[in-house]
Amino acid sequence: MTQKSAPSVALRVRLPCGDEQELVSRMARAFSPAGMFLSTKAPKEPGTRLLFEVLYADGSPALRGEGTVVRAVADSLRPGMTIAFTRLDPPSRALLGRIAAVRRGTPPAGMPLEPPQPEAAPVEAPVAAEPRLPAPGPRPQLPASAPEITLGIDLGGSFLRAAALAAGTATAVTFDGLPALSLPPDLGQGDLPLLLELARNAAEAQGSGRVSRTVIAVPPSTGPLRRAALRAAARSTGLPAVRILSDTAARAVACGAGRGLARKRLLLLDAGARFSAGLVEITGDEIDVVASLSIEGLGEEIDERLASLALRDLELARGPVEAEARARVVRAARSAKEILCTEERTRLQVPAVAGDESLDVELDRATLAEAAGPPLDRALAAARDLLRARSLAPAQVDEVILSGGQAALPPLLARAAEAFGPRLRSEIDAGGSAATGAALAGAALDGERRDLQIHEVLGWPVSLLGSSGPVRVLEKNAQLPAERVVRLEGPRHGVAALAVVADNEPVAGLVLPGPRAAVLVRVDRDGTVELTAAGGGPAGEPADPSSLVEAAALTMIEPGPAASPPPTNAESGGLLGNIRRFFGRPR
């Protein structure tokens, strides 16, 4: 008997790019003539056959074809899957050929091939090695009378930072004399206990106190599953009283707590490995996060673009360099970027890039501006859009505070000054402010400090999956805690409710015994999503969300005033697009 092969899975992806030019400038490294890498928190299993369609932001097609998943990474800070192409239509092959030409180093029209001649001897940019986490030492032995301290941890970027609060004073924690630990790029969830243990041991050794409360600052966009993984890691490490706070709120606490400010509106910009913007209002010791956004991979994109400019002439003559050599050039470009914050030019030298040929080029601030310009323009435009969505102009913000590892970049300082004028204040050395704010916020989050109040917003939308597709029930930037009662209608044997957030991430499930039910969707201050029966109906049974993907055949009969209609096909991609395609048919 012949065994049939597994059917192909339909996959529709909508890119944040308006056209081919933006796709090439932002995402060329994710595509090659042989395959592509898609970033997703729910990658398919290796061997899965796909019928895929990649769309531009306006819904027009970019790529169409078939492929097979050859690699999937879920337990990582950069989850996703690599897809090998098995068939492409002619326009897709042509587009990938143009992308390959750009990756080989073919310069855009008008770009000079010869680097400018130095006026003085440039500073040499070293090739930095990939960071590795140290092994944790033994936990300090403290007497029973040791004071209690609150530990604030910042996991919002590419560094681990911590602060300890004792006797009302927050102090930055050092790691063997360093203000932060550089995190490896392949950091996964299995490394979280080690990170937390390193922070706790360093804090207790430095402060001679025992950690009694822990507050972890994370990007606002960090989803419920990642937050749950942090809590589980904290439990396995023995950290007590763990709370999770957005790094936007933590920075606001560090800026405003205890200063007795009259009503003040701040725009907090953090330019590190990612770019974040948070609109905050501070009145006395009341901190209100009004809205926030995050753009992942800002620093990495600048490094990659600067490396591509450094390799341009070599690759034009010799062809694309190997991945290992390119990774060394990217690391050297990162060092060059830091040098160009204080020097006019630097020399980038990397041995054995193409066979025996080494790379030896000069980079100046004009080259840095060319590499950093497009990603920085997008980031600052997103920050202005954040204000515009609340009917605010930059002149209506009292202060714009720029911090983070990229804050010293001359192109960013120039653009931010042009966008926000005299309201801009750069705090290049404020990298530890999120950890400090997290430590200060501990007592307030646990209700022990009544004078400091912190109000957060939801970092991602929450939807319920129904037979007609996902229905939005809680919007991004809703005030936390947020909740909504939704009335559902399902098959005779009962109702299965499945909640999803952000990038189509299933986070909570509930099975109720009757064909109609009222469900309360709630997100608490720590970002935990809960589904419970509402209105005195049957109690229902919590369920693993992954087991409800096929069972979620719902009809929203009363979604509530703030719920939105299901998105169009162009708007629903990834996992949710597939679920809607296969399970959204009438039954």
pLDDT at residue 272 in the model: 81
pLDDT at residue 368 in the model: 93
Q: What is the mean pLDDT of residues 182-207?
A: 87
Triad 172, 177, 180: Cα angle to 5°: 55
Q: Which helix (H) or strand (E) holds 46?
A: none
- Residue 273, pLDDT > 50, answer yes
pLDDT at residue 115 in the model: 34
pLDDT at residue 127 in the model: 52
- Residue 576, pLDDT > 50, answer no
Tell me the whole-structure pTM to 2 decimals.
Answer: 0.69
Tokens 């609150």, residue?
150
Instruction: Give the CATH class of 298-368.
Output: alpha beta
Q: Among 265, 267, 264, 258, which Cα is nearest to 285's? A: 258
- Residue 559, pLDDT > 50, answer no
- Residue 571, pLDDT > 70, answer no
Q: Distance between CA 527 and CA 460 in Å, rounded?
A: 10
Q: Provide the residue ranges of all domains of the chain, joining segments of one domain with +.
A: 9-103, 298-368, 462-583
- Spatial contact of 123 and 343, defined as CB atoms under 8 Å apart: yes
User: Which of residues 491 and 270 earns the better pLDDT score?
Assistant: 270
pLDDT at residue 2 in the model: 39
Selection from 39-48, 205-214, 506-515 with the highest mean pLDDT: 205-214
Q: Could you tell me whether strands 35-39 and 31-32 are parallel, antiparallel, or unpaired per DSSP bridges?
A: antiparallel
What fold characterizes domain 462-583? Answer: Substrate Binding Domain Of DNAk; Chain A, domain 1 (2.60.34)
Residue 6 buriedness (CB in 10 A; 0-12 / 13-18 / 19+): exposed
Confidence of residue 110 (pLDDT cuts 50, 70, 90): very low
10-24, 248-262, 423-437, 456-470, range with the lowest pLDDT: 423-437
- Spatial contact of 258 and 285, defined as CB atoms under 8 Å apart: yes
Confidence of residue 492 (pLDDT cuts 50, 70, 90): low
The domains spanning 9-103 and 298-368 adopt the same CATH topology: no
Give percent of the chain with pLDDT exceeding 70.
Answer: 78
Confidence of residue 283 (pLDDT cuts 50, 70, 90): confident
| 25 CB-side CA count, 13 A | 17
What is the per-residue DSSP string for 364-378? EHHHHHHHHHHHHHH
- Spatial contact of 145 and 94, defined as CB atoms under 8 Å apart: no
Helix, coil or strand: residue 261: strand
- Residue 105, pLDDT > 80, answer no
What is the per-residue DSSP string for 452-503? -EEE-B-SS-EEEEETTEEEEEE-TTPBSSEEEEEEEE--TT-EEEEEEETT
Instruction: Give the CATH class of 9-103.
Output: mainly beta
101-110, 143-152, 223-232, 397-406, range with the lowest pLDDT: 101-110
Q: Phi and psi dihedrals of 357, rounded to 5?
A: -80, 130
- Residue 112, pLDDT > 70, answer no
Q: Distance between CA 426 and CA 412 in Å, rounded?
A: 11
Residue 520: alpha-carbon gap to chain centroid: 28
Confidence of residue 284 (pLDDT cuts 50, 70, 90): confident
Triad 76, 81, 85: Cα angle to 5°: 160
Q: Among 124, 52, 115, 58, which Cα is nearest to 88's? A: 52
Q: What is the mean pLDDT of residues 350-365?
A: 88
Q: Distance between CA 406 and CA 276 in Å, rounded?
A: 12
Q: Distance between CA 219 and CA 400 in Å, rounded?
A: 19
pLDDT at residue 92 in the model: 86
- Spatial contact of 269 and 277, defined as CB atoms under 8 Å apart: yes
Beta carbons within 10 angstroms of residue 4's beta carbon: 6
pLDDT at residue 128 in the model: 52
What is the per-residue DSSP string for 327-345? HHHHHHHHHHHHHTTTSSE
In the 8-state DSSP scheme, what is residue 290?
E
Confidence of residue 468 (pLDDT cuts 50, 70, 90): low
Confidence of residue 305 (pLDDT cuts 50, 70, 90): very high
Q: Among 446, 447, 445, 468, which Cα is nearest to 455's? A: 445
pLDDT at residue 557 in the model: 40
User: Which of residues 567 and 122 earns the better pLDDT score?
Assistant: 122
- Residue 10, pLDDT > 90, answer no
pLDDT at residue 572 in the model: 36
Four-residue CA torsion sign, 412, 417, 423, 428: positive
Give the residue ranges of DSSP H helices in 104-223: 192-207
Mean pLDDT of the chain: 78
87-101, 412-426, 544-558, range with the lowest pLDDT: 544-558
